[in-house]
């Protein structure tokens, strides 16, 4: 693997007063962007523009907020991340790789996505198919690509979280309080399935659900003004959602603030609308539908890298410090949260042995076979526990 030290002030968009963490943040964000550009260019097909635009939001969510143990992507109380705009799959693969998410499916830990997997983006049998596929890539929570589908699934996951909390949480032990985050695009919000699911989420007051809408005014065919001019914020307020607006997709402090607002909202789902620029940094393709579903082209890739302060000819570059920064962020936070949950689970087993037995058989699937599955109950509408110290730094 080629390793290069980039100077801190190479990273575009870092204010001169920024501390080491902000500089590393920008380096990580630009690594996500350039991996996406390079993978699409090498495959000669795919969707480069949206990962480039959403890298700051995805990075902020994963690095600062998501309760996810990279060593154990099956931890039952993990926050769920759904990329409903599945065409932006390289965003997810880059995160899975850089965060060091493990594949533990056959009992031995190995990386879920290696740099070589990313180099095989969109190839037959690759762990990085064109759109994310459940079961093919550890860390992919659900298959997406058909627009709207991930939005619908995310509502199901949020209902599932509420149902689990209703079944197994006790006043003195909270087993389930996970949140569900879904990224979605203009195309997602055009789809009926997303609208119907959003309406239900508002009705059920799923405060454990957050959609992050990529408001880039671009779709596959051109600008959204051709077909999609509705007031999305007003529509979601009508569904009884909490709506937050971030006007600059590169403003990670505002993104963290919006995620913090979601965490503090106890009675409604949250929609975070982020105004973004597809193919951010690509001088000729930014804000055009040409950046949606085709490679940028070698020269445009070079120019975009130049705009990030990146070595123009470096391919699949992960600069020094990037893996370590992820490890110190989501890596350490997720591991600590999981350990803290393990203690709760031990308390749960000690204090509620019969319920713990029911949970184990439920999780292994046997309770469904012997007909002892707990009967569905409407989920509670409030959070099981108040926001804790791991919430977003806003």
Ligand X SMILES: Cc1ncc(C[n+]2csc(CCOP(=O)(O)OP(=O)(O)O)c2C)c(N)n1
Q: Which residues bind ligand X (CB under 6 A)?
A: 50, 85, 87-88, 145-147, 185-187, 191, 214, 216, 218-220, 278, 292
Backbone phi, psi, residue 225, to 5°? -65, -15
Minimum distance, C-beta of residue 321 to ligand X, in the bound complex (Å): 29
Q: Which is nearer to ligand X, 150 or 329 (CB)?
A: 150
Minimum distance, C-beta of residue 227 to Mg ion, in the bound complex (Å): 11
Residue 133 burial by Cβ neighbours in a 10 Å radius (0-12, 13-18, 19+): middle
Kindly state whether residue 185 participates in binding Mg ion, applying the rule CB under 5 A. Answer: yes
State the binding partner of 85 from ligand X, Mg ion, none, CB within 5 to 8 A by kind: ligand X
Handedness of CA 73, 253, 86, 318 (dihedral sign): negative
State the binding partner of 145 from Mg ion, ligand X, none, CB within 5 to 8 A by kind: ligand X
State the binding partner of 220 from ligand X, Mg ion, none, CB within 5 to 8 A by kind: ligand X
> How crowded is residue 140: how many other Cβ atoms within 10 Å of its Cβ?
27
Q: Which is nearer to ligand X, 85 or 286 (CB)?
A: 85
* Closest listed residue to residue 150, CA positions, set 191, 178, 91, 118: 191
For Mg ion, the binding residue among 30, 149, 195, 216 (CB under 5 A) is: 216
Q: Which is nearer to ligand X, 142 or 185 (CB)?
A: 185
For Mg ion, the binding residue among 58, 218, 272, 337 (CB under 5 A) is: 218
Question: Considering only residues 269-328, where is the footprint of Mg ion by CB under 5 A?
Answer: none
Contacts 24+ apart (CB under 8 A), 361-364: 362/167, 363/76
The two tokens of residue 303 are 């120019």
Using alpha carbons only, what angle is made at residue 291 by residues 287 and 295, rounded to the nearest 5 degrees? 155
> How crowded is residue 363: how many other Cβ atoms within 10 Å of its Cβ?
11
State the binding partner of 87 from Mg ion, ligand X, none, CB within 5 to 8 A by kind: ligand X
Q: Which is nearer to ligand X, 277 or 383 (CB)?
A: 277
- Alpha-carbon distance of 63 to 331, in angstroms, equals 8
State the binding partner of 103 from ligand X, Mg ion, none, CB within 5 to 8 A by kind: none
Per-residue DSSP letter, 177: -
Q: Which is nearer to ligand X, 69 or 186 (CB)?
A: 186
Minimum distance, C-beta of residue 142 to ligand X, in the bound complex (Å): 15
Minimum distance, C-beta of residue 69 to Mg ion, in the bound complex (Å): 32
Q: Which is nearer to ligand X, 131 or 242 (CB)?
A: 131
Minimum distance, C-beta of residue 214 to ligand X, in the bound complex (Å): 6
Answer yes or no: are the C-beta atoms of 74 and 102 closer than 8 Å.
no
State the binding partner of 242 from Mg ion, ligand X, none, CB within 5 to 8 A by kind: none
Minimum distance, C-beta of residue 228 to ligand X, in the bound complex (Å): 8
- Alpha-carbon distance of 33 to 276, in angstroms, equals 14
H or E stretch at 292: none
Minimum distance, C-beta of residue 328 to ligand X, in the bound complex (Å): 31
Q: Which is nearer to ligand X, 6 or 140 (CB)?
A: 140
Q: Which is nearer to Mg ion, 185 or 270 (CB)?
A: 185
**Three-class SS state of 55:** helix
> How crowded is residue 378: how many other Cβ atoms within 10 Å of its Cβ?
10
Minimum distance, C-beta of residue 47 to Mg ion, in the bound complex (Å): 11
> How crowded is residue 228: how many other Cβ atoms within 10 Å of its Cβ?
14
- Alpha-carbon distance of 358 to 351, in angstroms, equals 13
Q: Which is nearer to ligand X, 192 or 389 (CB)?
A: 192
For Mg ion, the binding residue among 141, 186, 188, 287 (CB under 5 A) is: 186
Minimum distance, C-beta of residue 251 to ligand X, in the bound complex (Å): 19
Backbone phi, psi, residue 245, to 5°? -120, 125
Q: Which is nearer to ligand X, 29 or 317 (CB)?
A: 29
Nearest residue (beta carbon) to ligand X: 187
Minimum distance, C-beta of residue 40 to ligand X, in the bound complex (Å): 13
Radius of gyration of the chain (CA): 21
Which residues, 6 or more positions from 127, have their beta carbon under 8 angstroms from its beta carbon? Answer: 93, 112, 113, 117, 120, 136, 137
> How many chain residues interact with Mg ion (CB under 5 A)?
4
| Residues making contact with Mg ion (CB under 5 A) | 185-186, 216, 218
């Amino acid at each position: 693997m080629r390793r290069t030290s980039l100077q801190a002030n190479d990273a575009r968009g870092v204010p001169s007063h920024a501390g080491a963490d902000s500089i590393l943040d920008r380096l990580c964000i630009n690594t996500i962007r350039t991996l996406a550009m390079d993978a699409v260019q090498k495959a000669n097909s795919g969707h480069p523009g949206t990962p480039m635009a959403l890298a700051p939001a995805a990075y902020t969510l994963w690095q600062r907020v998501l309760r996810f143990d990279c060593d154990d992507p099956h931890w039952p109380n993990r926050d769920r991340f759904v990329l409903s705009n599945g065409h932006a799959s390289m965003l997810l693969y880059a995160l899975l790789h850089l965060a060091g998410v493990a594949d533990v499916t056959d009992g031995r830990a190995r990386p879920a996505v290696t740099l070589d997997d990313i180099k095989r983006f969109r190839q037959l049998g690759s762990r990085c198919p064109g759109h994310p596929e459940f079961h093919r890539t550890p860390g992919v929570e659900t298959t997406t690509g058909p627009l709207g589908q991930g939005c619908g699934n995310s509502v199901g996951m949020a209902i599932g979280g509420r149902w689990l909390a209703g079944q197994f949480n006790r006043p003195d032990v909270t087993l389930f309080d996970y949140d569900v985050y879904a990224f979605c695009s203009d195309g997602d919000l055009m789809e009926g399935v997303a609208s119907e699911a959003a309406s239900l989420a508002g009705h059920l007051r799923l405060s454990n659900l957050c959609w992050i809408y990529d408001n880039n005014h671009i779709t596959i065919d051109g600008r959204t003004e051709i077909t999609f001019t509705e007031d999305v914020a007003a529509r979601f307020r009508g569904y009884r959602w909490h709506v937050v607006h971030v006007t600059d997709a590169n403003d990670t402090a505002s993104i963290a603030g919006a995620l913090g607002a979601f965490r503090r909202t106890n009675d409604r789902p949250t929609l975070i609308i982020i105004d973004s620029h597809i193919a951010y940094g690509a001088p000729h393709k930014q804000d055009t539908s040409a950046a949606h579903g085709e490679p940028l082209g070698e020269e445009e890739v070079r120019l975009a890298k130049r705009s990030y302060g990146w070595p123009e000819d470096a391919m699949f570059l992960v600069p020094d410090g990037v893996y370590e920064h992820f490890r110190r962020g989501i890596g350490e936070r997720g591991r600590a949260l999981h350990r803290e949950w393990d203690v709760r689970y031990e308390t749960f087993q000690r204090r509620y042995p019969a319920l713990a037995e029911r949970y184990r058989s439920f999780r292994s699937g046997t309770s469904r076979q012997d007909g002892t599955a707990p009967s569905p109950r409407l989920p509670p509408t409030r959070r099981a526990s108040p926001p804790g110290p791991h919430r977003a730094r806003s």
